[in-house]
Chains A and B, each alone.
Chain A
């Protein structure tokens, strides 16, 4: 699959992030092309989650730029980044735990809802239509990850694997262009990982691009079109899963010399 002549949707240019003296990210370049699943791997503490936090506006980079379809989203607050079509899941689940599952996904659809207070107070036709669409959209994405039977339970009462899927459904409800998945398979058992891989593939079929941080190598090699390897905040290698597996620098980063 030749990705070079496809449109670049998400691009990072020399993204650098320092926390005091700690150089979490050093001049990192990356590109996510249309229709692509891009993997990001690296040993613990190599800066993967930091990169996701920079991209999604949790904190700004020290220097460098992040572009979505050519437009800089660098330093913008996270809700503006989300409005640019970049939605994420979190490594340590960040669900709205004490709210029902369906409400979690409805909140995820917040970006599609723009009604004034007046419309809300009078239950205007606009409000009613949007509320109905929000409900339908939430149910659709809940069914997409196979959690429709859990709709009315509290999010915190779901088993861990389902909570992970719920977080993905919540992000999908916001109509993302790019979905950032931060270790979606962490803590899942093999059947759950298989189900997750299936969900990720079906997300791609929906025309949504995926940037995934993952430690589960089998999953990464299985679903990703391209993989970037970082270590100590620097890019070590980039290529197809097959190329990455052959790369001596990667083996060194993971196994040491």
Chain B
């Protein structure tokens, strides 16, 4: 009984917070969620739904990455590795060992988080360009292992026949059900990220991004929070992996190339560092742009590269970064050098 009243109390408080402090952003997010929930009613083209499911997958990856890249300012280019670990976990557990889907789903969260904790430790010693190399290498290692450890992963042949997601007796199968499943997961991840970044955790992450020495001097255990940011960022990646594996019913090493890590990082930058709505917007724009450009697919990598460089030069704050669009409209792009991409390494 007390637990129940406690829960009711917390729910009421959450409503209260949303209605007062952040009522505008909450109202608009809920309205957006409502509109998105209605999409399959009007869009009957299965291809469009498939593209939207890809957008949702990237939104999960990007929301997670934003915690470590956008908020904490650690250069993480290995999100594909955690996505891969999540996907392979669900694939192997359900096909080879007959584990029930909810358990496999849970394992797809736990294993990437554990792997990401390990990945977080180098960030205690190195940062900036060097950390990006370490995380990038980690991504490649995971892909190469998936490609070469034939006994476990069947190597380049991949793992087919992954059963669809199944929770509490309900089987989720087909594009539209997966759209709703993905939308629910993305909404939950968004809520989780929102609750974390609007707390002392989020403030500590931002402090580390802004000035690690000063963050330490005010009592923030910077190492602990950096490793924590890595762990948190892996959770949505693992969920996205499980989602995609059961959706496509197949995983293979070619699904987890470095392109994915770079695209996710680019989505963070395009949407705006430390902006959660930006993560969704950035993912949507990039995934849809790549679909539109499918006829010239050979230029895919060039497109990713050119847009990334253009963003860093002309729109470093991203579309929804702190005051970015507004500031851009007001001042033109003359102070673009002050963007949030790079840390200035100052002297103590």
Contact = CB atoms under 8 A, between A and B. Distances in A.
Contacts of A113: 200
Given A92-B347, A128-B13, A78 B213 contact: yes
Contact of A110 (B211, B220, B346): B220
Nearest to B215: A107
Contact of B195 (A90, A120, A174): A120
A49 to B, nearest CB: 8
B260 interface: no
Contacts of A11: none
A111 B219 contact: yes
A145 interface: no
B192 interface: yes
Contacts of A134: 200
A90 B14 contact: no
Pick from B192, B199, B217, B222 the residue with the most CB of A within 10 Å: B217
Interface size class of A (residues with CB under 8 A): 35 or more
Interface stretch (A62-70, A95-103, A202-210, A234-242): A95-103
B207 interface: yes
Interface in B3-39: 9-10, 13-14, 17
Interface of A is mostly: helix
A127 interface: yes
Contacts of B9: 125
Contacts of B140: none
A256 B195 CA distance: 60
B204 interface: yes
Nearest to B321: A98
B214 interface: yes
Interface in A103-141: 103, 106-108, 110-111, 113, 115, 117, 120-125, 127-128, 130-131, 134
A96 B195 CA distance: 21
B348 interface: yes
B201 interface: yes
A83 interface: yes
Given A113-B200, A121-B196, A58 B214 contact: no
B56 interface: no
Contacts of A174: 218-219
Nearest to A124: B10
A87 B214 CA distance: 10
B217 A110 contact: no
B195 A121 contact: yes
Contacts of B340: 98
A97 B210 contact: yes
A82 B216 CA distance: 8
A170 B210 CA distance: 14
Contacts of A171: 218
A54 B255 CA distance: 50
A79 B220 contact: yes
Contacts of A148: none
Contacts of A53: 348
A45 to B, nearest CB: 14
A170 B10 contact: no
A90 B220 contact: no
B322 interface: yes
A58 B213 contact: yes
Nearest to B223: A77
Contacts of A57: 216
Contacts of A77: 216, 221
Contact of B219 (A79, A96, A121, A128): A79
A218 interface: no
B173 interface: no
A56 B206 CA distance: 22
B336 interface: no
Contact of B217 (A49, A88, A125, A131): A88
Contact of B207 (A92, A107, A125): A107
A107 to B, nearest CB: 5
B127 interface: no
B50 interface: no
A122 B220 CA distance: 23
B210 A96 contact: yes
A94 interface: yes
A56 B217 contact: yes
B346 A92 contact: yes
B211 A94 contact: yes
Nearest to B9: A125
B220 A96 contact: no
B203 interface: yes
16 contacts: A49-B348, A78-B217, A79-B220, A79-B221, A79-B222, A87-B218, A94-B213, A97-B210, A103-B203, A107-B220, A110-B204, A117-B201, A123-B13, A123-B14, A124-B10, A128-B13
Interface of A: 49, 53, 56-58, 77-79, 82-83, 87-88, 90, 92, 94-99, 103, 106-108, 110-111, 113, 115, 117, 120-125, 127-128, 130-131, 134, 154, 170-171, 174
The 6 A-B pairs at the shortest CB distance, nearest first, are namely A82-B219, A96-B210, A111-B219, A94-B214, A78-B216, A113-B200
